[in-house]
Amino acid sequence: MKTILLSALALTLALADRATTAEPEHPNILWLVSEDNYVFLGCYGDPLARTPTLGKLAREGVLFERCFTQPVCAPSRHTLIAGVYAASSGPGQHMRAQGKIPSWLKGFPALLREAGYYTSNNAKTDYNSPISVQDAWNECGRKAHWRNRPAGQPFFSVFNHEVTHESCLFPEKELPLDFPPMDPARVRIPPYQPDTPEMRADWARYYNHITLMDGQIAAKLKDLADAGLAENTIVFYYSDNGGVLPRSKRFLQESGTHVPLIIYFPPKWRHLAPAAPGSRIKDPVHFVDFAPTVLSLAGVKKPGYMQGHAFAGVAKEKPNEFVFCTRDRMDERYDMMRSVVDSRWLYIRNFRPDLPYVQPLDYMFRARGYQSWARVAREGKLTPATAQFWGAKPSEELYDMTTDRDSVKNLAGDPAHRTTLERMRAALKRHTLEINDNGFLPEGSALEGYDASRAPGAFPLEHVFDLAALASDRDAANLPKLIESLGDASEPVRWWAAQGCTMLREKAAPAEAALRKRLEDASGAVQVVAAEALARIGKTDTALPVLERWVTNADAPFFALQAANVLDRLGESARPALPALKQSLAALPKGKGKGKGKGQSTEGQYPKRILERVVAVLEGREQALVYPTPQP
């Protein structure tokens, strides 16, 4: 009997030991994120990059050659955390906003928590929406770490590395380096940028910071290995948006939306990988695909509302034919662009082609490269290539990414590529309707938001899309249609009709009577753009009082911001409003805020920033940007 009891005890101890050492049922998942990086890495073919850690990760993992996202961080993070395009939850597509999400929408890490994962985020929560941080993360902050989980619990952990952030170009002094700095003479200046000493200095510094980032990634991987977790952890490396050198971050050319993505699958989890180690995948992927992919790797079912497709794991889906990117308001400046990407082509639709690519955006112009580009423009020394980005935009752009790495040869007007152009156009319209793109609504509209914009009869999106495309064609033959649409019952229809008149400038003179009626429109956004259209046909005496009234309306900060943008665009034509603007500035709250979150616009700091510039330019204390003569 004693022998039997001893044998049973031994078996129990053996089973207990096996239970504590058994293979985990789910992989750990680690996201290592760098900020503001285009694919300036050796593994992506850059000859100057010093990135040995990421090179090794690519050789042992899977490299995605065509990963795209929004050209700025907050809308990108909204898309990442929600698994839904930011433009589905207006105003989440704008930079620094609070997207109106449905009450049931959780950040996808909450679904991992429900499945038994420990989730940690170190440390950004720049989600452009009221996603619940408490629901998503067990731990969130500068001390959040997978080490803090209960023993044996699988983890999903995120670490953000800020050393390559845009602000790295602002300081006067470089960070301490333990390697020889990049020689500015060695860098390649793309044809769309002027070759100035400041531009070369920014390029060199950026390469130095990419090397520093590679070392930080190496340290995180060493921590994982030292803890004995490397063989059970799937590692993602990616950047939150494209690079920070001029004409990258904030813009839809490849330099602003194409980001690196490398995923390492340890041998025991290699069956979840989409391809063998060392493979390079050409199918396009997007940040909206990341949430479904992580859920697929963790064995968690994807919710039906998610708009992306898993590109790895047990629930891997069919590869994307297209992915889509958006650019809307960036801090205090408005624009609207949409892009479509497949495995070869980049298509961009500019819905406000009258607005120059380069606007005097305060934060962007802290970089010396942008300042030098403005100097070259003032000196009249822009070349045809460097003037492309500085002047008015074409309505459509089409680039062959296999032969035009710099997106400078626009093939949209080439009859040889007409079929491709029409295919990409059709894909954009289809996608707009599928995700219910809120970018076609004015910011501040009661129609904005996931729920409001989807309410039955909210607004005729397909009609609005068609009208926006017609307006952005800037064809005077369409003016009768625009005039008719100014009387439509739907706010966004009237808004786009007024924008179409604005884009036609003096050719919209026959619309004067219809535009004057819209100065009393129920929508502040329509009033503002109607005032701009009237100013463009020489009726500034009628337009300026409307703009002055809105620009200081603290109860409608987004309409105030839109009015401030118009006043700035009017330039010298706004001079009669100078006394009122100075008086308005004196009445606005002091302080510029911290530059984070929705407080900038709701507290009136963005309108104030623009008004300060308008007054300074009109008084001769600040230089206006100089643009080349617009081409027809």
Any idea which residues carry the catalytic annotation?
73
Q: 328 burial class (0-12, 13-18, 19+ CB within 10 angstroms)?
A: buried
- 82: CB partners within 8 A, 6+ apart: 89, 101, 105, 107, 108, 127, 129, 131, 291
Q: 15 burial class (0-12, 13-18, 19+ CB within 10 angstroms)?
A: exposed
Q: In whole angstroms, what separates CA 332 from the centre of its chain?
A: 15
CA distance 464 to 480: 16
Residue 158 · residue 122 · CB < 8 Å = yes
Burial track 336-363 (b if 16+ CB lie within 10 A, e otherwise): bbbbbbbbebbbbbbbbbbbbbbbbbbb
Q: Do strands 323-327 and 337-341 pair parallel, antiparallel, or not at all (unpaired)?
A: antiparallel
Residue 158 · residue 120 · CB < 8 Å = yes
Q: DSSP for 314-352, please give it.
A: TT--PPPS-EEEEE--BTTB---EEEEE-SSEEEEEES-
Residue 363's φ and ψ, nearest 5 degrees, are -65, -40
Residue 435 · residue 465 · CB < 8 Å = no
Closest CA to 212 of 75, 16, 367, 34: 34
Residue 82 · residue 105 · CB < 8 Å = yes
Is the bond leading into 360 cis (omega within 30 degrees of zero)?
Answer: no
CA distance 473 to 466: 11
Two tokens, residue 582: 């100075």
Question: At 57, which helix (H) or strand (E)?
Answer: helix 52-60
Two tokens, residue 413: 């007007």
Burial track 547-560 (b if 16+ CB lie within 10 A, e otherwise): bbbbbbeeeebbbb
CA distance 137 to 80: 14
Per-residue DSSP letter, 490: S
Beta-carbon-side half-sphere exposure of residue 193 (alpha carbons within 13 Å) = 24
Per-residue DSSP letter, 231: G
CA distance 79 to 162: 20
